[in-house]
Chain A
Amino acid sequence: MIVATLSVTATLGPVVVPYDPTATNVGPQIQSPTLAHPLGTDQLGRDVLSRVVHGARYSLGIALLVTGIRVVLGTIVGLAAGYAGGWIDEALMRLVDIQLAFPGLVLALVVAGILGPSLRNVMIALAVVGWATYARIVRGTVLSAKEREYVAAGRLFGAPRWRIARRHLLPSVMNPVMVIGTLNIGTVVLATAGLSFIGLGAQPPTPEWGTMLAGGRHYLRTAWWLVNVPGIAIALTVLGFNLLGDGLRDALDPHLQTRVEEV
C-alpha cells in the first residue's frame, strides 16, 4: 500500500504540488510548517513539501532501474554458472567472490567518486556493485533445481539445454529473485540517498532526498524539519518495499532467508 501511494506520488505528485521545487524564495527562509507551506521552507525559502514530492521521482526511478539491471545481470551470470558447471562456473563464481569481497557502498562510493559526482554515475556504480548477490542466489537455486528429477526427465526426452533452462530452471529462480529484488529496491533507495548525502549523487539544487538531508544538517538546531522530512520519506519508502518483499516471500517462497540486506 505504501508502495502504491508512493508510485502515485511519484507520477502525479509533481503536477499537484503548488511550487516549483527549485524555485527559491517562494516563502520566507527557514519557516516552520504553516498552512501555505505544510512542511515548512528551507534556507533558500524553497517549499519542502514540493521538494519531497519531487524527490520521490528520483528515488523510485533510480531504485527501480538499478535493481532491474542488477537482477538481469545477476540472473544471467547465475544461470550460466549453475547450469554450465565446470570451469565456467569456477571462473564466474570467483568473479562474484571478488565483487562480494568489497563492501557494496564503499565500492559504489569509489566508482561514483572516480567517475565524478552525478546521479547518473551513482546509478552506474550501484548497478555494477549489486549484481553478484543475485548471481550467487540464482546459481544456488539452479544447482538445487538441477538435482530435481524433472530436469533429469527432461534430459531423457531429449530436450535441448536451453529449453530445460527456460522451462524448468528459470521459473524456479523467478520467485527468490522477485522477493529479493523487492527487498533490494529498498536498499538501493537507501544507498542512493546515502551517496547523495555524502555528496556524490544528485547535486544541489536537485530535490533528491539524500541531498536535501545533507543540506539540512547545518540547521539541526533551528530547523528540525529540514532533516526529518526527507528522512521520514526515505524510511517510509524503504519500509514499503520491505513490507512488500516480506509479503511476497510469505506468499511465494516461505523458506527463503532474508540474506541480502547489505547494499
Chain B
Amino acid sequence: MNLGNYLLYRLSTALTVLFGASALSFGLVFLTPGDPAETILDQREDTHPTPEAVEAFREAEGLNDPIPIQYVDWVVGISNGDLGESYYSSQSVTTLLVEHAPTTIELALASMVVALCIAVPAGIVSAVHRGDRIDIGSQLAALIGVSMPNFWLGYLLIIVFSLYLGLFPVSGSGSLSQLVLPAVTLGSGMAAIITRLVRTAMLDELESEYVTAARAKGLRERLVLYKHVLRNALIPVITIVGLQFGFVLNGALVVEVVFQRPGLGMLLVDSIFARNYPVVQGIVLLTAVIFVVTNLLVDLSYYRLDPRIRLGGTNS
C-alpha cells in the first residue's frame, strides 16, 4: 500500500472509533440511577428543589428532548468547539478543559521523560547481561515498580522528600519543583513496564538469525546491538509507549489527587462527584480523542520504521 491509501485507511478506522467513542461518552450519563436535574439542584441550592425549578432546569439544559436529539445537538456543538456549559458555573466546558489541560500535559510529558530515561537503558543492559546479577536486579526493580500502587508511592515520596528532607513541596503545580515528585511517581511505574518490554523485545531480536549473521560479518558487538538489534526491538516498544501515552490520564487521575494538582484528572474526579455531566462527557471524549490520535501517530511511525509494512498488506 502506498502512504496515501494507508493514511486513508487508518483515518477511516479512526473515525469509526471516534464516532463510537463519542456515542459512548454521551450515553454513559444515562446510566445514572436518579434524575440528574434533581440531584444537581439539590446540591447547588442546598435545599430540596421545587418541581418547577427542576422542570425549568431540565428545559434550560435540553434534558427534556429525546436522547438521540440531545446526542445530535451535542455532536453539532462539538464540531463548533462547543462542549456545553458546566452545570455549576457558567463557564463553558471547552474553557475548563483548556484551563486544566496544561497541568496534565506537563505531568504526562515529564513522567514520560522520566520513564524513558530509566527504562530504555535498563532494558538494554538487562537483555545484554541476561541472567547476570545486573539483569536480576533490574528485573526485580521493574517488578516492584509494576506492583507499587502509584498513590502509595506518591505519599511515600512526600513523606521522605517533602516532610523529612524538605526538598520539594507537598502539592500544587506551576513550578518545576512541584513537578518533580508527581513526575517521578507516575514515571517510575511506566518505566517498570517499559523496561520489561524493552528487555523482552531485545531478547527476541537477539535470538534472530540476522544477529548471528551480523556478528559473522565481523561487526563490533556495539554496532550489532545498536544498529541491528535495538532498531528492530524499538518497533514494538514504540507501540506500547504510544499507547501508554494515550493512557497517561489513567495515572494522572490518581497522582493529581495525591499531589493536589489542578489538572484534568482532578477536574474529572470533582465533576464526577458533583454530577457535572457536561464536563465529564467532555473529558471522556477528550481522552478518547487523545488515544485515537496517538494511536494514529504510532501507526504512522511504524510505517516509517518498518519497511515490511510499507509493502505487506494489513498488519494491524
A residues within 8 Å of B by Cβ? Answer: 94-95, 97-98, 100-107, 109-111, 113-116, 186, 190, 193-194, 197-200, 210, 213, 217, 220-221, 224, 227-228, 230-232, 234-236, 238-239, 242-243, 246, 255, 257-259, 261-263
Chain A positions within 8 Å of B21 at CB level: 98, 101-102
Contact B272 A109 (CB under 8 A): yes
A–B Cβ pairs within 8 angstroms, 17 of them:
A98-B20, A101-B21, A101-B288, A103-B250, A105-B251, A106-B268, A113-B272, A114-B29, A194-B253, A228-B155, A230-B152, A231-B153, A238-B147, A238-B148, A242-B147, A258-B200, A262-B250
Bound complex: CA of A217 vs CA of B171, how far in Å? 13
> Which chain A residue shows the least CB distance to B316?
A93
C-alpha gap A115/B28 in the complex (Å): 10
Q: Are B284 and A110 in contact (CB under 8 A)?
A: yes
User: Do A106 and B249 form a contact, CB below 8 Å, given A98-B17, A98-B21?
Assistant: yes
**Complex contacts, B159 vs chain A, CB 8 Å:** 220, 224, 227
CA distance A105 to B143 in the complex (A): 21
Contacts of A255 in B (CB 8 A): 204
Q: Are the C-beta atoms of B24 and A109 separated by less than 8 Å?
A: no
Q: Which residues of A contact B196 (CB under 8 A)?
A: 258
Q: Give the docked Cα–Cα distance between A213 and B148 (Å).
A: 13
Which stretch (B69-77, B114-122, B238-246, B302-310) binds chain A?
Answer: B238-246
List 18 additional A-B contacts (Cβ < 8 Å) besides A102-B287, A224-B159.
Answer: A97-B16, A97-B20, A101-B17, A101-B291, A102-B24, A106-B250, A109-B272, A110-B268, A111-B31, A114-B28, A210-B151, A213-B149, A228-B155, A238-B146, A238-B149, A261-B193, A262-B243, A262-B250
CB neighbours of B291 from chain A (8 A): 100-103
Let me know if B236 is at the binding interface, CB within 8 A: yes
Which residue of chain B has its CB nearest to the CB of A241?
Answer: B147
Assess whether B253 is in contact with A109, with CB atoms less than 8 Å apart. Answer: yes
A38 → B minimal CB distance (Å): 20
Contact with A along B258-298 (1 / 0, CB 8 A): 10000000001100110000001001100110011001000
Interface size class of B (residues with CB under 8 A): 35 or more
Which 10 residue pairs spanning A and B have beta carbons closest together? A231-B152, A113-B272, A98-B20, A238-B147, A239-B147, A105-B250, A103-B250, A103-B247, A101-B288, A97-B17
Task: Name B residues whose Cβ lies closer than 8 Å to a Cβ of A.
Answer: 13, 16-18, 20-21, 24, 28-29, 31-33, 143-144, 146-149, 151-153, 155-156, 158-159, 163, 193, 196-197, 200, 204, 236, 240, 243-244, 246-251, 253-254, 257-258, 268-269, 272-273, 280, 283-284, 287-288, 291-292, 295
CA gap between A243 and B273 in the complex, in Å: 36
Residues of A within 8 A of B143 (CB): 239, 242-243, 246
A235–B144 CB distance below 8 A: yes
Give the residue name and chain of the A residue nearest to B272 (CB): A113
Residues of A within 8 A of B29 (CB): 114
What A residues does B13 contact at CB under 8 A?
94, 97
Name the contact of B155 in the complex, choosing from A97, A98, A220, A243 (C-beta under 8 A).
Answer: A220
